[in-house]
Chain A
Amino acid sequence: MNTFRLKFGEGVSFLGLNDERFKTVRIAIHFLTPLENNSAAANALVPGLLLRASREYPDYTELGCHLADLYGASVYADVDRFGPLQVLSISGTCLADRFALEGEKLSEDLASLLCSMAFSPILYDRTFDVSGFEIERRQLLEAIDSEFGDKRILARKAATKMLLSPEYSCVSRYGEREEIERMTAKRCTDAWRVMTKKARIEISVIGNCDPKVIAEIFRPAAERLERQKSEFQFITLPEKPKPESRKDIQDVAQAKLVLGFRTGTNLLSKETDALRLVNVMLGGSPNSKLFMNVREGQSLCYYCSASFDSASGTILIDSGVAPEKVKKAREAVLREVDAMKRGDFTEDEVDNAKRYLRDAYRTVFDHAGAIDSWFLYRCFLDHIPTPDETADRIGMITREEIISAASRLSLSAEYLLTGGGVDA
């Protein structure tokens, strides 16, 4: 693996990976900061505001034309949640220089553009353009509204809120709606300034280029940042005395049942790999207990799967089920969780899950986006293992470790979205 890392300053890192297998170059700047009620909304608007225009291309359409001229380069703004953190990202992808028909330096052009956007955005009277801000605010509100129409996402969000509170902020990764409605361009500009000062900043370039050249494009701007040392805490969520429960009624044909489990671990815990394996065995593959027994065996639902969040040490099991079968599906899911805790699984199930995970890890380095995510979400570890190292570690996990990890699952949140007709 041909990676190198540089430190540009306190909490500002650069990751470069030259990989000629790819036809593209992917460049990203990630800001990681605590997800808090008083800053989430302003922060969530920043990536979109940064990408609207730049000093070199102050008009939105002019910028779009320039990207099109770079053989269809694209830029993206993302807002994500990672345990207690809000992750604000701007990224871009372009064709590798070798495909440019007239020798254009596509990756350097894109890098300069993103660097300028991230660290020296175009401001008017030291503030983001107000008309651009109005558009971004409207779009963020519409993004929240749009999630309402995706019932699976809606149900998972509701369950996650219950699962992580009160220890983690309940605020969504976009912030609260009322806060977004009250937001101003000035407050967003202030939020950007705070991010450049205090957020952990991870810059990455992955693909068919010379990352050292790209590093030197970012270095001056990154080293000029006035930085403050920040500490990031990954707390361990304790067991809840009683699971929190909520039911919502909407006009839907299929009910969404989400069960949330705490495990008393976090990103830095030694049980994390065993919990990944537990997650796959329980509901992370087509050979998992939930797929085989709840879906295939009892035809109770179309999907029934588990997902593990290592940052918060939580597992969500979500399913789409007929309203009249919710009680049966819930009992079936909890039976499978108990089976894992009791060690009621075969060596075959263990081997299958290990093979599935090993395979998944080994393909990480076939995708630039997956490589970026791999390093980003492990940037707090002292040593970032490679996917192969992680695959090998998973392969050595014992039956006892699996049972020990599974026994940590504690039902902490239950959310049901249904249209009615529930057999309560």
Chain B
Amino acid sequence: MLENWVRHEKIGEEYLNVRHKSGLNILVYPKPQFHGVFAIFGTKFGSIDCAFRKDGRILRCPAGTAHFLEHKLFEGEEGSAFDRYAKTGASANAYTSFDKTCYLFSCTDHAEESLRILLSFVTQPFFTDETVEKELGIIGQEIRMYDDDPNWRVMFNLLGGLYHSESVRSDIAGTAESISAITPEILYEFYNKYYNLHNMTLCVAGRIEPETVVSVADEMLSQTSEYEDTNVYQEEDDSVVSHFVRQKLSVNLPLFELGFKEQVKKGQRVSLADVAATDVMLSMLASDFSPLYRRLLDSGLINESSFGSELFEVRGYASTIFSGESREPERVAEEIRKEIESLRCNGFTEDRFMRSRKSLYGKNVAYLNSAESIGSSLSALSLAGYGLFEYIDAIAAVTPMDVERRLAETMRDSHCVLSIIDPVE
């Protein structure tokens, strides 16, 4: 078992990084003065992972399988994981996103027992025709709920305009039709592939000793075979599908998302340095102290509670996205494109760059304020292949040239899609 302490001198904190003998990567961030413990157990299996090679064949799963698996794992052969958590008082949940599925809990007492429950139910799958059938009704309702959600729909419509690959265009939960094709056999096949401990991370933060976490892992986990990444990634053409997508829903105020597609190698990620540089770039371009933001606000084109920007970034896909509510979304899109071009052509001052970098650095340090946010950040970064403090240091290391390079390489009009949700008349 390999272990090392990772320390950040300026923040004055550290966490233990363990490669457990089972193959699992365990990260423990002790915060002995907190009351609570937060644990999150994640695997690199999300909605974009819908095919892999095995024994010379390609095995495919219906859209929504990763999410369906997440629901079903809570129901073990001896009962529900929630029933077990009830005895410890832990508050538990789980989520599936594009490239990962995570199971988590927070508690104050009985952290050790709660950890045993977490490791046990996630590593002991039990799927039958009856339990699969039962879940169809619940997930069907979840799908309908998201069908009505304008924020969800504007995003997935954008992805539909940006990407040709079904895996990233498809709703994370799938559709009523796609999930009806899920069987216990499919669940077991994909579980056995992706829920390999070498493909997973356990992160624990709060009032707990690292030795306790490792000891529970020793007790609950067996050694697993090495994980081989045999994911079959869909080909993704450089072009966009459609520059404009529009849908009507029951809203009073239009929503929009403006996305700029980047070319990313199949199965690869944007580098951490580029993620950091993009975040600084977006802060300069569109944060609430930027000239663009002020113009849009004063013109009545955006509001403070909804306007924002981010880099959407998962294995094989990346896009810069601006989003918000506006009565004139096309005008907002036009103003954003003009500002990008202006920044690209005219450059920016040192002051503007330093301010954005300083602000982002401060916000990211401030974020590490609770066991939940520490644990969640640890998990997200480690599943992406990075250490927690690496991102903060990457922000501090961004240079004006890095931002200029990202401006030059990304946010091209030719790769731009505008998604709008309009009110039903």
Q: Which of A's residues lie within 8 Å of B, judged by CB?
A: 21-24, 60-61, 64-65, 67-74, 93-95, 99, 131, 135, 138-139, 142-143, 145-146, 148-151, 250-254, 285-287, 291, 295-296, 299-303, 320-322, 348, 352, 355-356, 358-360, 362-363, 365-368
Contact = CB atoms under 8 A, between A and B. Distances in A.
Interface in B1-54: 10-11, 31, 33-36
A99 B365 contact: yes
A146 B253 contact: yes
A248 to B, nearest CB: 11
B86 A366 contact: no
Contacts of B249: 149, 251
Interface of B: 10-11, 31, 33-36, 80, 82-83, 85-92, 106-109, 134-135, 137-142, 144-145, 147-151, 249-253, 255, 287-289, 291, 293-294, 297-298, 300, 303-306, 325, 355-356, 358-363, 365-366, 368-371, 424
A358 B140 CA distance: 34
Contact of B108 (A61, A139, A301, A362): A362
B291 A61 contact: yes
B365 A65 contact: no
Contacts of B294: 60-61
Contact of A299 (B87, B137, B291): B137
Nearest to A208: B369
Given A131-B298, A148-B252, A322-B144, 6 more contacts: A64-B288, A68-B359, A69-B355, A71-B366, A254-B144, A320-B145
Contacts of B86: 285, 287, 348, 352, 355-356
Contact of A71 (B149, B150, B358, B369): B358
Given A21-B34, A295-B138, A358-B89, A135 B358 contact: no
B305 A93 contact: no
Contact of A149 (B11, B135, B250): B250
A67 B251 contact: no
Contact of A72 (B92, B255, B361): B361
A74 B289 CA distance: 11
B324 to A, nearest CB: 10
Nearest to A151: B148
B3 to A, nearest CB: 25
Contacts of B250: 148-149, 151, 250-252
Which of B35, B82, B141, B371 counts the most chain A CB atoms within 10 A?
B141
Minimum-distance CB pairs A-B, first 10:
A71-B362, A64-B289, A299-B137, A355-B89, A72-B362, A302-B141, A72-B359, A145-B252, A149-B251, A68-B359
Nearest to B75: A296
A338 B91 CA distance: 26
Contacts of B297: 60, 135
A249 B198 CA distance: 50
Given A302-B141, A360-B91, A287 B362 contact: no
A302 B149 CA distance: 14
A318 to B, nearest CB: 12
Nearest to B107: A359
Contacts of A138: 300, 303
Nearest to B114: A359
A300 B140 CA distance: 10
Given A251-B249, A252-B250, A363 B325 contact: no
B366 A24 contact: yes
A320 B141 contact: yes
A286 B83 CA distance: 8
Contacts of B139: 302
A2 to B, nearest CB: 12
Contacts of A21: 31, 33-34
A352 to B, nearest CB: 4
A24 B253 CA distance: 35
B366 A299 contact: no
11 contacts: A64-B287, A72-B360, A74-B363, A95-B362, A142-B305, A145-B251, A146-B253, A254-B145, A285-B86, A363-B36, A366-B370
